[in-house]
Amino acid sequence: MLPNRKVQNLIGKRVRVEMKGDASILEGTLMSVDDYMNLYLEDTSEIVNGERTRILGPVILRGNNIILLTPVEE
Amino acid sequence: MLPNRKVQNLIGKRVRVEMKGDASILEGTLMSVDDYMNLYLEDTSEIVNGERTRILGPVILRGNNIILLTPVEE
Amino acid sequence: MLPNRKVQNLIGKRVRVEMKGDASILEGTLMSVDDYMNLYLEDTSEIVNGERTRILGPVILRGNNIILLTPVEE
Amino acid sequence: MLPNRKVQNLIGKRVRVEMKGDASILEGTLMSVDDYMNLYLEDTSEIVNGERTRILGPVILRGNNIILLTPVEE
Amino acid sequence: MLPNRKVQNLIGKRVRVEMKGDASILEGTLMSVDDYMNLYLEDTSEIVNGERTRILGPVILRGNNIILLTPVEE
Amino acid sequence: MLPNRKVQNLIGKRVRVEMKGDASILEGTLMSVDDYMNLYLEDTSEIVNGERTRILGPVILRGNNIILLTPVEE
């Protein structure tokens, strides 16, 4: 299964995304993904230095700035 | 709804954009977006270390340097 | 008006461009822009830590390393 | 043998991937790779400052943020 | 004159190229440039912290990691 | 001779590649290169803070994270 297909299989599930920039990690429900791996998350928490902060509303992440994506085990 | 479509739905609304570089965050009214997620904002404030600075005139942001985009709740 | 079109409207005017890298900001007269937002500026000043340094001759900026672009109010 | 083909030959084997960001190194079993060198790994360990941390489940890595990839000798 | 065309006009001349990474600046004779602004320089000096170091042989620079390019005045 | 062609001419020779990230420099025998300047090296040494470390097996480098490439004089 190709990487992008693997991400599509995670739609509707909680994912953890590590972005470029100052150690920025996000957890949210994956709503959609496109061919560039741009992501649309809802119900998102930002994790900075281990601390979780609630972010309301949708969040769009630019695919080329994603380092890694992994499903959150529940 | 795909990520880019989700951004287009925010046209005319206030958005918060986190860019690559030294913790640069911008808030402005989204005027337009293209397929690369390049953005054109007006009425923009730059937020550096929590401090808000008014920037007059239009601001163009390069899509590939966007980390995340989220609507500002009003 | 799409972002790239907005930049084209600034040709002949003074613009301020924030680049990736160590807080590098440039001010110059925008001579041309292409589809990748590569820029050709003349009469350019580099602003490092708030200090302005004159750079003679033309300067070419690579579009993908632009963080933001804004017109300079005169 | 072209670079991307060389990576395809490592499918099913353990690889070590150095990513952009704060010295992030990952070791996992390569499940798939696409034309952009996006990777899908399973059974992945993250190595931060020489320390190995187990990560459960699949991990997707964005190709453009890969610095280097090398097979793990077993 | 478009940015890439402007760079092509500098072939055969001395150019100064500022690259991403730790304040890496190079000066060399521009031998060729392609559509991605990849550059091939000869007779190149690397300038690190203001100190000039001679590098023998050809140097290839990846276009997407160029911050800015400017002709060296002689 | 275009930059990519120049790199192809170095196949079979020792090259030095400076990558993005924390001052990572690699020296190896260039086995292949593709249109994105992705590289496949063998017999590779990593040079960190001037110290040379032997890396066994093949190494694949992602083209967009290459800063510069130069032949090693022997």
What does the pLDDT read at residue C6? 97
What does the pLDDT read at residue F64? 97
Domain that holds residue B43: 3-71
Which residues touch D62 (CB under 8 Å, ≥6 apart)? A37, A63, A64, A66, A67, A68, A69, D38
User: Which of B3-12, E10-19, E46-55, F13-22 has the weakest average pLDDT?
Assistant: E46-55
Chain C nearest-CA distance from B30, in A, is 11
Would you call C52 exposed, middle or buried from its count of C-beta atoms within 10 A (0-12, 13-18, 19+)?
Answer: exposed
Q: Name which of F2, F64, F71 is nearest E62 (Cβ-Cβ).
A: F64
Higher pLDDT, F13 or C24: F13
Higher pLDDT, C54 or B67: B67
Q: Name which of A32, A33, A62 is nearest B67 (Cβ-Cβ).
A: A62
- Overall domain count for chain B: 1
Tokens of D29: 């079993």
- Domain membership of residue D74 (yes or no) is no
Percent of chain F past pLDDT 90, that is, above it, reads 73
Distance of alpha carbon D55 from alpha carbon D58, whole angstroms: 8
- Domain membership of residue A29 (yes or no) is yes
Q: What are chain A's partners, defined as 3 or more CB pairs within 8 angstroms?
A: B, D
Distance of alpha carbon F11 from alpha carbon F6, whole angstroms: 10
Closest CA to F64 of D11, E34, C64, E45: C64
What does the pLDDT read at residue B24? 80
What does the pLDDT read at residue D74? 67
- The neighbour count for residue A11, using CB atoms within 10 Å, is 14
| 8 Å CB contact of A64 and D61 | no
Higher pLDDT, A52 or D19: D19
What does the pLDDT read at residue F52? 80
Higher pLDDT, C18 or D24: C18
Contacts of E71 in chain C (CB under 8 A): 57-58
Low-confidence ranges of chain C (pLDDT < 70): 22-23, 74
DSSP D22: T
What's the complex ipTM? Answer: 0.92
**What is the mean pLDDT of the segment spanning E12-26?**
87
Residue E69, pLDDT > 80, answer yes
Which residues touch C7 (CB under 8 Å, ≥6 apart)? B60, C30, C33, C37, C39, C69
Interior angle at CA B62, CA E9 and CA C49, nearest 5? 80
Higher pLDDT, A34 or F23: A34
Confidence of residue D36 (pLDDT cuts 50, 70, 90): very high
Q: Name which of A26, A33, A65 is nearest B20 (Cβ-Cβ).
A: A65
Give the SS3 label for residue B63: helix
CATH at residue E51: 2.30.30.100
- Domain membership of residue A74 (yes or no) is no
Tokens of A29: 């429900």
**What is the mean pLDDT of the segment spanning E29-39?**
97
Confidence of residue D55 (pLDDT cuts 50, 70, 90): confident
Chain F nearest-CA distance from E56, in A, is 8
| 8 Å CB contact of F26 and D68 | yes
Contacts of D70 in chain F (CB under 8 A): 55, 57-60
Task: For F17-53, write each residue's pLDDT tens digit.
Answer: 999 876 589 999 999 999 999 999 999 998 877 788 7
In sequence order, the β-bridge partners of residue F27 are F16, F45
Task: For B10-38, write each residue's pLDDT tens digit.
Answer: 999 999 999 987 658 999 999 999 999 99
| 8 Å CB contact of A60 and B68 | yes
